[in-house]
Amino acid sequence: MNRCSKVLTQEISTILDLIRHSPDISRINISRQLGISPASTTRIISKLIQNNLVVEADEITAENAGRRATKLIVNNDVMNFAGIEISDIYIAVSIIDFGGNLLYTARIDSSPGESLKGRLTAAENLLSRTHYRFQALGISCIGTIDPERKIIDYCDILGWEKVEAGRIAEKIFNVPIYIDNDVKCDLLGEYFALKGENYNFISLLSFARGVASATMEYNCIQRGFMNVSGEIGHTIIEYSDGRMCSCGMRGCASTVLAEDNIIREAQKTAPDITSLRDIWTAFSNECMWAVRLLDRTSNYIAALARNIICMQNPQCIILRGSLFDEMPGLYDMVLEKYKFFAYYPLKKFENFKLGRLGAESSSFGAAIMAINEYCKANQLIHS
Ligand SMILES: [Zn+2]
pLDDT digits (tens, 9 = 90+) for 282-330: 999 999 999 999 999 999 999 999 999 999 999 999 999 999 999 999 9
> Does the pLDDT of residue 68 top 70, yes or no?
no
Q: Give the length of the chain.
A: 383
What's the rounded Cα separation, in Å, for the pair 282 and 261? 17
Q: Does one domain contain both 224 and 153?
A: no
Last residue within a domain, chosen from 25, 53, 76? 76
Separation of CA 252 and ligand 1 centre (Å): 5
Q: Does one domain contain both 144 and 288?
A: no
Separation of CA 158 and ligand 1 centre (Å): 15
Report which of residues 292 and 383 the model is more confident about: 292
What is the DSSP track for 357-368?
Answer: SGGGHHHHHHHH
CA dihedral over 317, 322, 325, 328, signed as positive or negative: negative
What's the rounded Cα separation, in Å, for the pair 114 and 130? 24
Domain that holds residue 167: 79-187+361-376
Separation of CA 90 and ligand 1 centre (Å): 22
Q: Does one domain contain both 241 and 254?
A: yes
CATH code of residue 83: 3.30.420.40
Q: Does one domain contain both 180 and 261?
A: no
What's the rounded Cα separation, in Å, for the pair 313 and 306? 10
The pLDDT tens digits for 241-256 are 667 888 888 889 998 9
Q: Does one domain contain both 124 and 260?
A: no
Q: Does one domain contain both 94 and 236?
A: no
Q: Tell whether 113 is covered by a domain.
A: yes
Q: How many domains are there within the chain?
A: 3
Last residue within a domain, chosen from 53, 76, 99? 76
Q: Does one domain contain both 260 and 228?
A: yes
Q: Does one domain contain both 290 and 350?
A: yes
Q: Residues 95-117: what's their mean pLDDT? A: 94
Per-residue pLDDT band for 1 (boundaries 50, 70, 90) equals very low
Separation of CA 295 and ligand 1 centre (Å): 22
pTM equals 0.91
Separation of CA 26 and ligand 1 centre (Å): 49
Q: Does one domain contain both 320 and 220?
A: yes
Separation of CA 371 and ligand 1 centre (Å): 33
Separation of CA 264 and ligand 1 centre (Å): 17
> Does the pLDDT of residue 62 top 80, yes or no?
no
Separation of CA 258 and ligand 1 centre (Å): 11
> Does the pLDDT of residue 4 top 50, yes or no?
no
Q: Does one domain contain both 233 and 311?
A: yes
- Counts for the chain of helices (H) and strands (E), in that order: 13, 16
Residue 237 per-residue DSSP state? S
Separation of CA 232 and ligand 1 centre (Å): 9
What's the rounded Cα separation, in Å, for the pair 230 and 193? 21
Q: Tell whether 382 is covered by a domain.
A: no
> Does the pLDDT of residue 347 top 80, yes or no?
no
CATH code of residue 9: 1.10.10.10
Q: Tell whether 381 is covered by a domain.
A: no
Separation of CA 259 and ligand 1 centre (Å): 14
Q: Tell whether 345 is covered by a domain.
A: yes
Q: Does one domain contain both 267 and 328?
A: yes
Q: Does one domain contain both 249 and 339?
A: yes
Give the C-alpha distances (Å, rounded to integers) separating 302 from 6, 287, 297, 341.
41, 22, 9, 7
Separation of CA 225 and ligand 1 centre (Å): 19
CA dihedral over 140, 145, 148, 150, signed as positive or negative: negative
Separation of CA 299 and ligand 1 centre (Å): 19
Last residue within a domain, chosen from 32, 50, 76? 76
Give the C-alpha distances (Å, rounded to integers) separating 259 from 121, 254, 266, 335.
27, 9, 11, 20
Average pLDDT, the chain: 89
Q: Tell whether 383 is covered by a domain.
A: no
Most confident of 216-220, 223-227, 238-242, 262-266: 262-266
